[in-house]
Amino acid sequence: MDKIFKKRLIVILTLIVAFASCRKKEFDAYYGRPDGLADPIYQQLQARGNFTTLLACIDKAQYKEILSTAGFWTLFAPNDDAFKVYFQEKGLNSIDQLADSTATNIIRYALSYDANKTDHLGDYLSATGWKPNLGFRRRTTYYDFVYDGTVNGKKAKVISSNGNGTYVYTNFNNKYITYFISNAMSAAALGATDYNYFFPNTAYSGFNVVNASVKNKDIVAENGVIHEVDHVIEPMKTLDQYVASKAEYTEFKKLLDLFVTYSPSNEATHRYQVLSGKADSVYVKYYNALLGFSPNNESFTEDAGAANNSQTGAYTLFVPRNEELLAYERDVLLKYYPGKTMKDLFISNQQVLIDFLNAHMYKSMVWPSKFSNATAALTGEVPQFNPGSDVIDKKLLSNGLFYGVSKVQNADVFSTVFGKAYLNPAYLTTSTFLNEYGLYTSVKNSKIKANLIMMSDATLTANGYYYNPNYLASSTITGRLTIPANGDFKRVLQQAIIPASHGEMSNLLSGGAGIVETLNGEYIKYDNLKIYSSGTLDSTDVTKQYVSVNSALSSTDGKASNGYAFFVNKFLSFTTKQVSQHIIAKGTLSTDPFYSFSMYLKGSSLYNATTFEINGVPLGVNYTVFVPNNAAIVQAVKDGVLPGDLVTGAPTYAPTNVNDIAKINRFIQYHIISGNTIVPDGLKAGLYKTLYKDSNGNDTYVTITNSLNSMQVKDMKNSSPLANVVISNSNVLSNRTVIHQLDRYLKFDY
């Protein structure tokens, strides 16, 4: 019985072994390593024979297993000749003298995520797939961890933020490596000149990695791709690290440090304590989010939907040397803060420093061939530097391009007429509300010519406009501004801004005269260093009918990149009167130039004797009023256009007949241009609509011919000769209106 059982057992076991053997063959056939599959990266390097030192470096870094097993890597592999040069530069004799930590850094920086051959290295892997010709950077396995720093004057463990003003614990802030590959370079209109600007000792080949040339590309391995390079590439510093390492940029670093805060991180602390066995707390180094970017952030504008944006770009930082920066601080930023420091300015007006730093920070890679058309994300200005003569230090770094420069970017916010108010605390109200009302666009661009009439805070306060930035009862800027009855500070500022694309007011400081249009279409006049407005001219005291320009101060401190700031001694007001009041004021006596017209106005049904309003002429709209002289009015009476004696031309100013009243109304309406103010400055001409509509309800027009100090008006009946503006009795400033006298009346169809 036992013999039979043993025989059966042997048969069963034999069948099991045979079956298992068959299954293993099937398993190996399906899941086994294909015969034609390339060896892993480590074994490939061994087989090639010219990576002996790199292999030793990999062993030191304890990356042999990683590079011998499954993975998906790109390795920029320095050959043995590259290490010979590297050891000579470092004063080393062999790999044995290379610190393990240095070996680890080299390997981790040479190794990037994802296996990329040259067919995709020049592309960007977006959330929706490959975007051709946009990629020239890849994320490496290297990242800085905790380092020694100072927090509140004490030594501490610090880690860099990994976003612009943010920190995400799961983001290790990996460094990126930059390469220069022909398809991406061509698409960006870059070439050898840009590459050799940073690496003059390496020939541009169409495929370079930092300062290395690629000797053999697209070596396919089981776990990735190898590109052989002829230089050893160490992890590059961030912009933050590089600035901190150079003594010639300490002043700029001081400014950056004013915007740094340190905050403890429980997650970073726990990770550090586990890895190091030490009990120190870890602080995250943050830069203020109002800066263009964080110089210690390795990621380029990344967000949840664009995790690989850093493949396409990085930042650019221009940093002036200490000497030039200190001079600019003294002569520009601190000019009106005698005895104060930049830290004092930071405390009193932090935005000035933010604007200054942002003028040197670009959210893109500004290559040397692109200085003239690069745009800063926040300032919208191109770099003011010559890449050949102004740049004294240039570096490709892990998170961007660095340029040490021998001059300061004199940003528009400081160099324009806006800067004259912005940098002077005596004009805080003006600069604040130029921004608040959105008027800064007219005065803060060096390409847009403009002049600014400067009224100090003391002057504004004396006239009822008081701004208290520390008034805690209001959370809004406008809530902190006290405005007098009938006041309108936006209008005050608009009247103080004079667009100057035609050289307006260029003769003011030499004692010249003129009439100019302000930002809101109102006009002001000037003569012999005096400026007149509709408001100042309302005064019965001739000494108060103008504001005086401080010519000395305006000549020295007022010159700006886009015009002049004119410093004045008093408030440049606007009138609150009705247009009719200014017409009547010049038509009181029978010999006054506007007498006949003003009398007809008062006798018309358009005029309200109580409010002084002219029906159809509401305040808030720009107008031009043409007042025919007394002789022209007589002719209009004789022609039957106005009521009166057809023979003598004697006017009937207050008719009772409905038809006569209608005549007056039509006459007045046709002599008022609605929506535009025109003066004899040679700038405005052509067809303009009047207030009058004919019997069919159609709009009516006049045609203006305009030159400096001469203006003619052609009516709808093409009367000849044209009506001329009588300059001596014209340019009368009113409420958003200018009044001119004509030597003829304008004819029209009923």
* Distance from C-alpha of 197 to C-alpha of 695, rounded to nearest angstrom: 75
Q: Per-residue confidence at 27, pLDDT binned at 50, 70, 90?
A: very low
Instruction: Work out the average pLDDT over 373-394.
Output: 90
* 125, 114 contact by CB (below 8 A): yes
CA–CA distance, 275 with 231 (Å, rounded to integer): 32
pLDDT confidence of residue 153: 95
Q: How far is CA 392 from the centre of its chain?
A: 26
Which CA distances in Å does 596 have to 547, 580, 637, 702, 715? Answer: 32, 13, 11, 22, 20
Q: Which residues, in sequence order, are CB contacts of 88 under 8 Å at separation 6+?
A: none
| pTM across the whole model | 0.90
Q: For the domain covering 41-143+176-234, report its CATH number.
A: 2.30.180.10
> What would the two tokens of residue 405 be?
């420069």
- For β-strands 282-287 and 513-517, DSSP reports them as unpaired
Q: What is the pLDDT of residue 373?
A: 85
Closest CA to 296 of 175, 403, 391: 175
Lowest-confidence region among 32-41, 206-215, 542-551, 676-685: 32-41
Token digits of residue 749? 């169809």
What is the pLDDT at residue 306?
Answer: 58
Across 25-97, where does the E strand assignment appear?
A: 73-78
Q: Could you tell me which of 477, 461, 457 has the C-alpha nearest to residue 469?
A: 477
**Contact between 351 and 338 (Cβ < 8 Å):** no
229-242 pLDDT tens trace: 999 999 999 999 99
Is 726 or 5 the better-scoring residue by pLDDT? 726
Return the amino acid letter for 235: P
Cβ–Cβ < 8 Å for 217, 207: yes
Residue 187 identity: A
Lowest mean pLDDT among 61-65, 380-384, 411-415: 380-384
Tell me the C-alpha distance between 523 and 160, whole Å. Answer: 56
Report the amino acid identity of residue 184: A
Instruction: Give the tens place of pLDDT for each residue, 693-736.
Output: 999 999 999 999 999 999 999 999 999 999 999 999 999 999 99
- Nearest-angstrom CA–CA distance, 97 and 368: 39
Average pLDDT of span 521-544: 98
Residue of 304, 286, 301, 306 lying closest to 400 (CA atoms): 301
Topology annotation, domain 253-413: FAS1 domain (2.30.180)
Q: Burial level of 537, CB count in 10 A (0-12/13-18/19+)?
A: buried
CA distance 625 to 615: 14
Give every CB contact of residue 696 below 8 A, 6+ residues apart in sequence: none
Q: Where are the alpha helices (DSSP H) in 168-307?
A: 182-187, 192-198, 239-245, 250-257, 266-276
Helix (H, G, I), strand (E, B) or coil at 524: strand
Q: How does residue 31 score in pLDDT terms, banded at 50, 70 and 90? A: very low
Q: What is the pLDDT of residue 35?
A: 60
Window from 32-46, 358-372, 664-678, 681-695 with minimum mean pLDDT: 32-46
Average pLDDT over residues 253-260: 98
DSSP per residue, 320-353? E-HHHHHHHIIIIITTTSTT--HHHHHHH-HHHH
Phi first, then psi: give them for residue 119, nearest 5 degrees: -70, -15
CB 505 within 8 A of CB 564: yes
132-154 tens-digit pLDDT: 999 999 999 999 999 999 999 99
pLDDT above 60 (res 749): yes
Measured distance CA(525)–CA(516) in Å, rounded: 6
The DSSP element (H or E) to which 362 belongs, if any, is: strand 361-362
> Contact 64/58 with Cβ under 8 angstroms?
yes
Average pLDDT, integer, range 677-702 = 97
CA 89 to chain centre: 43
Percent of the chain with pLDDT over 70: 94
pLDDT at position 34 over 70 = no
Of 444, 294, 445, residue with least CA distance to 363 = 294
Quote the pLDDT of residue 30: 45
Q: Cα separation of 518 and 533, whole Å?
A: 10
Please, which pLDDT band fits residue 304 given cuts at 50, 70 and 90?
A: very low
Domain ranges of the chain: 41-143+176-234, 253-413, 416-567, 579-742
Indicate the range of 33-47, 84-98, 586-600, 642-656 predicted with least confidence: 33-47
- Per the CB < 8 A criterion, the answer to whether 534 and 735 are in contact is yes
CA-CA distance, 430 to 493, in Å (whole number)?
A: 7
Residue 353 has pLDDT above 90, yes or no: yes
Q: Which of 634, 732, 636 is nearest to 740 (CA)?
A: 732
Average pLDDT of the segment spanning 648-669: 97
Total residue count of the chain as it appears in this document: 750
- As given in the structure block, the two tokens for residue 164 are 């612009």
What pLDDT digit, counting tens, does each position of 172-231 carry? Answer: 999 999 999 999 999 999 999 999 999 999 999 999 999 999 999 999 999 999 999 999
The yes/no answer on whether domain 416-567 falls in CATH 1.10.3470 is: no
579-742 matches 416-567 in CATH topology: yes
Please tell me the distance from the alpha carbon of residue 112 to that of residue 704, in angstroms, as a whole number. 71
Mean pLDDT (the chain, rounded): 94
Q: What are the E-state strand segments in 615-698? A: 623-628, 672-674, 686-693
Q: What whole-number distance in Å separates Cα of residue 244 and Cα of residue 252?
A: 9
When mean pLDDT is compared across 203-212, 294-303, 513-522, the lowest value belongs to 294-303
| pLDDT band of 358, cuts 50, 70, 90 | very high
Which residues is 644 bridged to in the sheet? Answer: 651
Q: Are 561 and 416 in contact (CB under 8 A)?
A: yes
Counting DSSP H helices and E strands in the chain, the numbers are 25, 35
What is the per-residue pLDDT for 473? 83
Residue 682: what pLDDT? 98
Tell me the fold of 579-742. FAS1 domain (2.30.180)
CB atoms < 10 A from the CB of 552, how many?
11
- pLDDT tens digits along 266-286: 999 999 999 999 999 999 999
